Amino acid sequence: MVGQIRRRALRDDGTLDPVKLDAWWRGRAHALDTFPGLHRRLDDAQTASSTMAEVARTHRQAVEEAQRGASAR
């Protein structure tokens, strides 16, 4: 199962793509519902990955802005 998620929803940077994870989940919801608590655990992983991706974007933007400011001087 984890291998399928990695193949289907993992981005190149190692974070989970929330849209792809949701599509993967919806395609297998009936079978996966037999594992109590699994959806919650995947949601937590999705939330963590989304948060990490947002932090990475914010950091990248800050570095780019700092570089533009330094080159303007």
pLDDT in tens, 8-28: 888 888 888 888 888 888 888
- Domain hosting residue 24, numbered range: 2-72
Per 3-state DSSP, the chain is made up of helix, strand and coil in percentages (nearest 5) of 80, 5, 20
Q: What is the pLDDT of residue 64?
A: 93
Say which residue, 11 or 51, is predicted with more confidence: 11
pLDDT tens for each residue of 57-68: 888 899 999 999
What the block records as the tokens of 51 is 């948060």
pTM over 0.75: no
Crossing angle of helices 2-9 and 18-32, in 10° steps, is: 150
The domain total for the chain is: 1
Percent of the chain with pLDDT over 70: 81
CB-based contact 42:35 (threshold 8 Å): no
